[in-house]
Amino acid sequence: MRTYLVTGGAGFIGSNYIHYMFRKYGDEIFIINVDVLTYAGNPENLADVENRSNYRFVRANICDKEAIRKVFAEYDIDRVVHFAAESHVDRSIVQPELFVTTNVLGTANMLNCAKEAWELPDGSFKEGKKFLHVSTDEVYGSLPEDGGYFYETTPYAPHSPYSASKAGSDLLVKAYMDTYHFPANITNCSNNYGPYQFPEKLIPLMIHNALEGKKLPVYGDGKNVRDWLYVEDHAKAIDMVCEKGRLFETYNVGGHNEKQNIEIVKTIIDILREELPDSDPRKAALTYDLITYVEDRKGHDRRYAIAPDKIRAEIGWEPETMFREGIRKTIRWYFDNEEWMEHVTSGDYQQYYDKMYGEKKEIG
């Protein structure tokens, strides 16, 4: 039985990955989920797996050396899948130090603890071990609107405290691979969406606000472009890189779904109207009039787009879920889990939302 240490497994992508792995492998694997449970780490995301005999939850901070050492001492870890990170650009602008602490120092601690557990006396590493570091396309900076793609060879040019902190963590992993021949891979993914995503991010925020009849805040002119990846496709890519990826390599994971933000918002309104029955009073209020252009984010990158050529050629992965299909699946999930949304949109989240969007000046 292969043993996985998943960091940040109670978060959006991490919880979807754990669900995917249990669907695929069942009782053939053992997963230890280490999560400190910040605002975005939600135990409800994994309520249906928490009683499995081959699952353990450990509440710990990835910066806590003794806690992470203890996990490696108690379990013979075969794979580390490192999701844990502060990930929201807006929050990084307000609290940059937190992002450096978690994303850079936390990754350094995870690397050191894995190296300590896996390294042999001669400086080589135990057979079959791998550390997979999950990162973002934002480390590459911004692309021109009229073309170009991010490749694994694209120079890093981060613009926000978030992307800079992730770039720092990537470079640490690269340094460990180069210096120690530490068995690792890095994946850089495009924007994810799907079930269990905390509603500070664009798509769940727009779904939630639209159903509440609230304004839909869109930064600037709404024409910033992102490449969107359905989270289950990402989970599959991570598993395939773990099993088939060449050691020391980086793989870009993209969705081939480039969309302007304003197009995303309009698509959400359209599909919500299609999915809601005529008898639902919320349907009449779902119009483009809900869209409100607000003052742009500081340092807002104009366009991201990943070329997933390498992962397709070497590993055979490619995205399976086109955007409109993925948005419909996501909306149906939120319809079926409105209680989950109610729980995560109370308290601290509402205070944060009011601070980030309530004080933004409307434009246009």
> Does residue 265 belong to any structural domain of this protein?
no
74 in active site: no
Q: What is the DSSP string of 31-81?
A: EEEEE---TT--GGGGTTTTT-TTEEEEE--TT-HHHHHHHHHHS--SEEE
Residue 214 lies in a domain: no
Q: What's the pLDDT at 341?
A: 84
7-19 pLDDT per residue, tens: 999 999 999 999 9
Report the pLDDT value the prediction gives residue 153, as an integer from 0 to 100.
97
Domain assignment present for residue 358? The answer is: no
pLDDT of amino acid 300: 86
Verify whether residue 97 is a known catalytic residue.
no
pTM, 2 dp: 0.92
DSSP lists the bridge partners of residue 106 as none
What residues make up the domain containing 93? 2-194+229-256+302-321
Report if residue 121 sits inside a domain.
Answer: yes
pLDDT in tens, 329-364: 999 999 999 888 888 877 665 565 566 556 555 554
Q: Is 241 exposed, middle or buried (0-12, 13-18, 19+ CB in 10 A)?
A: buried
Sign of CA pseudo-dihedral 163, 171, 67, 243: positive
Residue 335 domain-assigned? Answer: no
Query: Is 137 a catalytic site residue?
Result: yes
Tell me whether residue 292 is in a domain. no
Domain count, the chain: 1
**pLDDT below 50 — which residues of the chain?**
364
- Specify if 122 maps to a domain: yes
Q: pLDDT at position 358, please?
A: 64
Catalytic residue among 137, 200, 227, 301: 137
Rg (CA), the chain: 20
pLDDT at 258: 92
Res 320: pLDDT? 95
**Catalytic, out of 4, 20, 55, 162:** 162
pLDDT, tens digit (0-9, with 9 covering 90-100), for 237-263? 999 999 999 999 999 999 888 999 999
Annotated catalytic residue within 86, 138, 239, 301: 138
Q: State which amino acid sits at residue 222.
A: G
